[in-house]
Structure 1
Amino acid sequence: MVKTMVSESEKWLCFPGQRLCAITENTVGGEGTYEKFGYLHASLSGVVRIRKRHKDNYITVASFGSKTVVPVVGDVVTAKITVINQRLAKCSIICIGKTCLNRPYRGVLRKEDVRATEKDRVEMYKCFRPGDVILARVLPLVELNTYYLTTAENALGVAVAMSTRSSEPIPMVPVGWTEMQCPMTLVKEPRKVAKIVPESAPDYDR
């Protein structure tokens, strides 16, 4: 039975694919859920739980079995770019916060989720390259087994990029918010750089 209203204390059992509630502006799906056709669905068997934060209902499903670490809405994850085109970048999520995963999860970073401003001017090839390691935040799940990500914060973006201009691949260093440089050849390449430089380093403007 589809739930249309939830309360903080309400809990019930569910099975994979079951519709949990209609999506509203105050509904946020978390671990064990995904969105489809305007409804929040369970992605596994377990107990549905609701947490309230201000006006929002955060809905998760706790599995009956052993605890498995999966990305949750709002988590900052480490991912490696695998495929890139003009519309999006596909990646493998390898860490959630400081926790390294036993197996990677599939992630997607869409063009409109790269930056907070001037989204229509984003060029994916000037922001990321295959092999780049990025920091990103998890968005609400809209497709089962695929996590949508965003780098639209100063602290998010490319953390590690390897230079292919030298005889051996070596890590490049950030020289601004939109460029990284090979320390051997001094060749610069465009990137959406994550703000992980020391506090004493120059503060570049976006």
Structure 2
Amino acid sequence: MAMEVAEEEEGKEVMVTPGEVLGKASNLIPGKGAYVAPHNNTVYASLSGRRTLIPPPSPDSPDQRPTVEVTGHKAHGAVPEPGSIVIARITKVMARMASADIMCVGPKSVREKFTGTIRQQDVRATEIDKVDMHLSFRPGDIVRALVLSLGDARAYYLSTAKNELGVVSADSIAGATMVPISWTEMQCPLTGQIEQRKVAKVGG
């Protein structure tokens, strides 16, 4: 019966997203794009894509569980995970948070869209209550950030609360690439104008 179900579902296009439950480990073997959580013996998807079930290699196999795989929309690109260092472009700055599109995980570029959120409390490690988001980031800034967790609405929670994290590249109002002059300021080489940012400390 399990074989029939596996084969029947194999032809169906079922789209899943990271963290989505695929089934119990007692019924499924996690393949590519899937992992099992030991605390509840549940198989989850680790990336966005199409879920497929692969039947056991033969009816005589000792393990008759089908293998579940998640195939990304595109070839497997890098996927952000808690603890990853990512490079992201700020898209929107609000009073309590900033949104960003994740471009790289470590040295690898991503091949699908991942959105990140930097909350006010995750911008820096000190004087958290005095953080002004509009003086920390501007749309278009390139930031280095740490992935904290998979947050709400499929956006990853990001943190820049370490010295080496924060804005690594930003354009001034005049359109020039600014030079960092302190942990909180960057200067336009054309006009000499100083703008506030949460700057990533160079060299660690």
Compute the TM-score of the two structures, normalised by the length of structure 2: 0.67
User: Residue 111 of structure 1 is aligned with which of 120, 126, 135?
Assistant: 120
Query: Which of the two has higher C-alpha Rg?
Result: 2
**2:117 partner SS:** strand
Structure 1 moving runs of 4+ over 2 Å: 42-52, 59-63, 65-69
| Cα deviation 1:51-85 (Å, max 9, x = unaligned) | 89xxxxxx964570334532100101011111111
User: Residue 184 of structure 1 is aligned with which of 170, 183, 190?
Assistant: 190
- The aligned residue for residue 105 of structure 2 is 96
Aligned length: 154
How much is the aligned-residue C-alpha RMSD, in angstroms?
2.7
Q: Distance in 1 between matches of 2:114 and 2:46?
A: 18
Does residue 175 (structure 1) correspond to residue 175 (structure 2)? The answer is no
User: Residue 87 of structure 2 is aligned with which of 74, 78, 81?
Assistant: 78
Cα deviation for residue 143 of structure 1 reads: 2.2
Percent pairwise identity: 40
Compute the TM-score of the two structures, normalised by the length of structure 1: 0.66
Q: Distance in 2 between matches of 1:172 and 1:112?
A: 26
- The aligned residue for residue 35 of structure 2 is 48
| Cα deviation 1:139-183 (Å, max 9, x = unaligned) | 121324211100000010000000123xxx221000000000011
**1:112 partner SS:** helix
Unaligned runs of at least 5 residues, structure 2: 1-13, 24-29, 48-68
